Structure 1
Amino acid sequence: MTKNVFEKMAERYDTAERKSLAQIITKEIEPEFHGKIMDYGSGTGLVSLPLAHRAEELILVDAAENMLAVAEHKIQQQRLTNARVLHADFTDGAPKISVDTIMMSLVLLHIPDTKKILTELFELLPNGGKLLIVDFMKNSSVSHPKVHSGFDPAELTSLLKTIGFSKVNIHDFYHGEKIFMNQAADLFLATCYK
């Protein structure tokens, strides 16, 4: 999907189905959520904002300004003083941000050049920093010209180690019906250390 699609759907993005899936993801990443965190491709903040109280600082980054407007409204409503939004498109180069952890939830599948974006994120992290990736396991039932059909853990681990991550742990944690392009799918969490 293009950035434009997300701009158009921002106001109606937080559906009951997306909120339900976000709660499952939030619960899974909660133990890893501390320090200075960047939520890359944050959208409206469905996954990261419920955990903002655990972070020293939370930066929600997205290329879709309308998604960030919804996230900013939530930050104001909840009176979160440690959370902020940042409009950035990493395909044009990454802004200089100092964080301990970068998370991306259901974002990698939308990015054509996975090696390029993962390299950009690797460069932002300090030594000992962590990248958390939540996405779908490889799924042969999914075929779309603008979306990856999920990721094979062995291939993703190999790519991440080629980029420079010293340790990569991947485990699946949820199976749902009609959650990936209207197909049954499994979610995984990859915890990657620089």
Structure 2
Amino acid sequence: MTENIFEKIAQTYDTPERKHLAQIITKKIEPEFYGKVLDYGGGTGLVSLPLAEQADELLLVDPAEQMLAVAQHKINQQQLTNVRVLQADFTKETPELTVDTIVLSLVLLHIPDTKKILTELFDLLPKGGKLLIVDFIENSKVYHPKVHNGFAESELSSLLKTIGFSQVSIQPFYRGEKIFMNQDAELFLATCYK
């Protein structure tokens, strides 16, 4: 999928199915959600906005302007003063900033060069900072020319350690019906410390 697709579907993105899955993810990452948090590919804020009050500051970053417009509307409605949005694509250019926690929820599968984006995110973290990745475990039934079919835990762990993360823990936590390209799939949470 390209960001153009997300621009087009922004107004109808928050379906009941996506909201349900986001609630499951939000509950899973909640204990790790604190400090200055960056939600990369945060879209309409489905995953991180419910936890905004736990963070000192929350920065929602997404390449799609329309997705962020939906998120900004929610921020305004909820009068969240510690949240801001930034339209950016870190695969092209990464601004200089430092954050304590980075959330990457169902985003990695859309990025062709996973090593490049993970390296860019690694560089934004101080020593002891953490990256939380939620994505699908590799699924051979899924095929799309622009989307990874999930990730093998051992390969992802190896890549993260090669980039420089000192501690990587990958834990499957939810199995759902037809949640990944209309296929049954399993989600994992990778907790990665710099």
Superposition TM-score tier, normalisation by shorter sequence: over 0.9
TM-score by length of 2: 0.99
**Alpha-carbon separation, structure 1, partners of 2:59 and 2:168:** 23
Q: Post-superposition shift, 1:93? A: 1.7
State the alpha-carbon separation in 2 of the partners of residues 165 and 106 from structure 1.
20
For 1:71 and 1:133, the matched residues in 2 are separated by 20
C-alpha distance in 2 between matches for 1:189 and 1:101: 14
What letter matches 2:133 in structure 1? I
Structure 2: gaps (5+ residues): none
1:104 is matched with: 104
The answer on 1:90 being equivalent to 2:90 is yes
TM-score normalised by structure 1 residue count: 0.99
**C-alpha distance in 1 between matches for 2:109 and 2:119:** 16
After superposition, give the CA deviation of every residue in 1:125-151 in whole Å (9 maximum; x if it has no partner): 111110000000000100110000000
Q: Matched residues in 1 for 2:158 and 2:107: separation? A: 19
- Name the counterpart of 1:123: 123
**Equivalent position amino acid for 1:22 in 2:** A
Partner of 2:31: 31
Is 2:24 the counterpart of 1:40?
A: no
Q: How far apart, in 1, do the equivalents of 2:90 and 2:27 lie?
A: 27
Separation (CA, whole Å) in 2 of partners of 1:154 and 1:75 = 38
Q: Post-superposition shift, 1:21?
A: 0.3
Q: Corresponding residue for 2:9?
A: 9
Once the two structures are superposed, the pairs formed by residues 145-156 of structure 1 within 5 Å of their partners are 145-156=145-156
Q: Secondary structure at the match of 1:90?
A: coil
How far 1:97 sits from its partner (Å)?
1.8
> What corresponds to 2:139 in structure 1?
139
For 2:79, the aligned partner's letter is R
Corresponding position of 2:168: 168
What is the aligned-residue identity percentage? 75
Q: Structure 1: any 5+ residue segments left out of the alignment?
A: none
Structure-2 residue corresponding to 1:58? 58
CA distance in structure 2 between the partners assigned to 1:56 and 1:82 by the alignment: 7
For the aligned residue pairs, the C-alpha RMSD in angstroms reads 0.5
CA distance in 2 between counterparts of 1:130 and 1:13 reads: 28
In the TM superposition, what whole-angstrom CA distance separates every residue of 1:35-83 from its partner, at most 9, and x where no partner exists?
A: 0000000000000000001000000000000000000000000000000
